[in-house]
């Protein structure tokens, strides 16, 4: 069983919990996931099964999109509503006040990761230190916010919703926290839905309950998305029977003989067998095709 399950992660589950449940359902140990979600978050969680786990760290599209609910006038130690409230303040902000600030948080910006995060400092996870009541200095990290829009806001409650598209490694609760600080009243995240991850959208997701139904009838394999979907924008190379055999045996193939003229080593190719089965990714070096990642 090899492929990708696009799971709509339920609230209260860690990403590890989802992987553990699927190991039991699918009766396989070889499962990984991309883009960790906090327990309070829901939404798109790509899960990789079998040989597809080799793709976890090489996906060409690592961007994410979120629908984030927030409340102004409060700050917590976790920067969301699950934490301990540290400060409260009166809120006198309008939607126009918020929208006027948003341009400062778009594009390439520097973000200080929150203490309650999996970032490591001197070999220790920040959340481990935070649970001990220890706060350490964190280096700002460069992230990219492709879009940031205010979807709705209530001046009477100080609550609203942001739509955010961003690069890998962006902390949405930190964006909300920093917007709250800039407004002078503080703010925290109250809910988070990931709507897009690594090229997959919420509409493509299935629930754990749906996977269980298919697993009960030994048909869960029907749900798997082929791993080559991740790389569909890369150029394809189709080998004949002779070259397929040589490639599988690790024999060098001369690029020109299989009609590859590109000499840029950074270019990746999808390699298909004579039966048009996806075998993996390769690149050209010194005129020869070299295996980058094998999925066969």
* Residue 107 near residue 139 (C-beta atoms within 8 A): no
Q: Which one from 38, 57, 264, 286 is the annotated catalytic residue?
A: 38
d(CA 138, CA 120): 10
Provide the 3-class DSSP secondary structure of residue 52.
Answer: helix
d(CA 90, CA 93): 9
Q: How many CB atoms lie within 10 A of CB 143?
A: 19
d(CA 113, CA 130): 12
Could you tell me which of 30, 124, 133 has the C-alpha nearest to residue 77?
133
Pairing mode, strands 3-9 and 141-154: unpaired
What's the Rg (C-alpha) of the chain? 23
Instruction: Report in angstroms the alpha-carbon separations of 29 from 14, 26, 35, 186, 261.
Output: 18, 9, 19, 44, 41
38 is catalytic: yes
Q: What are the start-end ranges of the H helices in the chain?
A: 15-26, 95-101, 126-131, 172-183, 208-216, 241-248
> Which residues have a catalytic role annotated?
38
């Amino acid at each position: 069983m090899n492929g990708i399950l696009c799971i709509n992660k339920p609230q209260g589950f860690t990403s590890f919990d989802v992987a553990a449940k699927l190991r039991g359902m699918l009766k396989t140990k070889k499962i990984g996931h991309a883009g960790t979600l906090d327990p309070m978050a829901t939404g798109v969680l790509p899960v990789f099964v079998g040989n597809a786990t080799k793709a976890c760290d090489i996906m060409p599209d690592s961007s994410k999109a979120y629908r984030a609910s927030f409340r102004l006038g409060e700050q917590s130690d976790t920067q969301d509503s699950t934490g301990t409230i540290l400060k409260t303040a009166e809120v006198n902000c309008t939607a126009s006040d918020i929208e006027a600030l948003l341009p400062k948080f778009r594009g390439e910006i520097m973000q200080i990761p929150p203490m309650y995060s999996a970032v490591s400092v001197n070999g220790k996870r920040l959340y481990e230190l935070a649970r001990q009541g220890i706060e350490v200095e964190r280096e700002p990290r460069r992230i990219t916010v492709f879009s940031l829009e205010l979807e709705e806001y209530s001046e009477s409650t100080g609550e609203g919703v942001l739509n955010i598209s961003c690069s890998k490694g962006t902390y949405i609760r930190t964006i909300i926290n920093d917007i709250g600080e800039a407004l002078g009243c503080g703010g925290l995240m109250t809910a988070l839905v990931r709507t897009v991850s690594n090229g997959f959208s919420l509409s493509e997701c299935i629930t754990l309950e749906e996977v269980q139904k298919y697993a009960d009838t030994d048909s869960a394999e029907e749900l798997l998305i082929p791993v080559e979907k991740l790389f569909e924008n890369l150029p394809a190379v189709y080998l004949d029977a002779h070259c397929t055999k040589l490639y599988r045996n690790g024999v060098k193939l001369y690029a020109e003989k299989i009609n590859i003229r590109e000499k840029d080593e950074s270019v990746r190719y999808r390699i298909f067998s004579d039966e048009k089965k996806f075998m993996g990714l390769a690149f050209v070096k010194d005129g020869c095709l070299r295996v980058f990642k094998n999925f066969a």
